[in-house]
């Protein structure tokens, strides 16, 4: 009788322990365990992160981090952390959260506009993905990569077309660069290649000219006409005489660092640089800034006309006046220069 009572007690205790364990497991796995008010939050796990790194991010987001720890150990997540961007929804259970951060790496939108240099582009991308700016710059300027894909230092920036792209946040610097090369190749359709060939210009030369067109005007409707002017000059062997290339050349000199050239003067036109299109025939060695796709297509689909000159329009700032003769151009230029002087702009 005594032994039966002991056995019964043991069974009851066992059942109680089992019930408690089942309750604990159910709570750890299937009870909501979020502590944020928004519908979702994103968790960013860098390459090389361990469980403690993940835990630090999750702790302020969860009601019971210890319960999460217990299940993470049980499901062996603590030794199987994966990098990426993961979304946690309000009301998720620990089981849901672990499944999400284990499997559901969610892409992001990476966006960049008209960056002036490849260094600035690397910095712009570094704030959007896990790769840092130094790694990005190294990948984007890798000489072997550039040579294998028909680029050089002066034209490397031209591979990156300003737009929004869907990538994984944990993309490496090389993965980002390779994706942009893929997008660049996709941009150069057979139709665009045929138009470039008809102009007797390479893809990099089209990009270089587009960068000048874009720096001259941000008005997409006017860009084809400006492109037509420069192509007319190239056709007759006339220097491009593009002021944006003069500014680009000047800003590379210590004398003009931390300055803004609002008015291109004769002294600027004497700068010794391959980018000085007042003294050098043809296109510069590379692009002077990242052009919009609109400017690239403006060159490929340029307006056919007989204009050889243009100058900013003092009455419609942002637009230009075009001329077929030098005399007409000089008259237009005097009006604009008088406007600059009236505004106190002399350099």
Please provide the DSSP assignment of 276-320 as one string. -TTTS-S--SS-SSPPPHHHHHHHHTPPP----EEEE-TTSTT-E
- Least confident piece of the model among 42-51, 53-62, 328-337: 328-337
Give the range among 20-34, 158-172, 227-241 with minimum mean pLDDT.
20-34
pLDDT band at 127 (very low <50, low <70, confident <90, very high): very high
In angstroms, rounded to a whole number, what is the distance separating the alpha carbons of residues 273 and 279? 9
Q: Rounded to an integer, what distance in angstroms lies between the CA atom of residue 55 and that of residue 63?
A: 13
At 19, the pLDDT band (50, 70, 90 cuts) reads very low
Give the model's pLDDT for residue 314. 85
Residue 24 has pLDDT above 60, yes or no: no
Whole-number mean pLDDT of the chain?
91
Nearest-angstrom CA–CA distance, 169 and 126: 10
Residue 9 has pLDDT above 80, yes or no: no
Q: Is 325 helix (H, G, I), strand (E, B) or coil?
A: coil
Q: Is residue 74 over pLDDT 70?
A: yes
pLDDT at site 263? 84
Greatest alpha-carbon pair distance for the chain in Å reads: 124
pLDDT at 199 over 70: yes
| Predicted local distance difference test score (pLDDT) of residue 320 | 93
Report percent pLDDT > 70 for the chain.
91
């Amino acid at each position: 009788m005594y032994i039966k009572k002991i056995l019964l007690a043991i069974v009851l205790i066992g059942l109680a322990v089992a019930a408690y364990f089942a309750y604990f497991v159910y709570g750890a796995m299937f009870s909501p365990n979020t502590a944020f008010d928004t519908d979702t939050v994103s968790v960013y796990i860098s390459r090389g992160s361990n469980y403690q790194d993940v835990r630090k991010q999750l702790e302020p987001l969860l009601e019971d981090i210890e319960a999460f720890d217990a299940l993470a150990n049980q499901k062996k997540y603590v030794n199987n952390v994966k990098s990426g961007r993961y979304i946690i929804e309000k009301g998720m259970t620990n089981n849901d959260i672990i499944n999400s951060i284990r499997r559901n790496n969610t892409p992001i939108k990476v966006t960049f506009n008209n960056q002036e240099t490849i260094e600035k582009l690397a910095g712009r991308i570094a704030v959007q993905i896990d790769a840092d700016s130094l790694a990005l710059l190294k990948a984007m300027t890798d000489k072997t990569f550039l040579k294998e894909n028909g680029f050089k230092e002066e034209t490397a920036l031209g591979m990156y077309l300003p737009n929004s792209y869907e990538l994984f946040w944990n993309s490496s610097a090389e993965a980002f660069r390779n994706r942009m090369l893929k997008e660049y190749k996709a941009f150069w359709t057979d139709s665009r290649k045929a138009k470039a060939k008809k102009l007797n210009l390479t893809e990099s030369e089209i990009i270089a000219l587009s960068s000048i067109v874009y720096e001259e005007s941000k008005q997409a409707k006017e860009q084809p006409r400006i492109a037509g002017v420069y192509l007319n000059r190239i056709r007759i062997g006339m220097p491009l005489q593009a002021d944006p290339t003069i500014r680009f050349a000047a800003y590379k000199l210590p004398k003009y660092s931390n300055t803004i050239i609002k008015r291109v003067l004769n002294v600027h036109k004497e700068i010794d640089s391959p980018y000085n299109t007042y003294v050098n025939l043809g296109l510069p060695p590379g692009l002077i800034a990242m052009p919009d796709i609109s400017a690239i297509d403006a060159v490929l689909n340029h307006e056919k006309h007989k204009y050889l000159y243009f100058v900013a329009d003092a009455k419609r700032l942002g637009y230009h006046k075009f001329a077929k003769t030098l005399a007409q151009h000089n008259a237009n230029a005097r009006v604009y220069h008088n406007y600059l002087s009236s505004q106190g702009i002399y350099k």
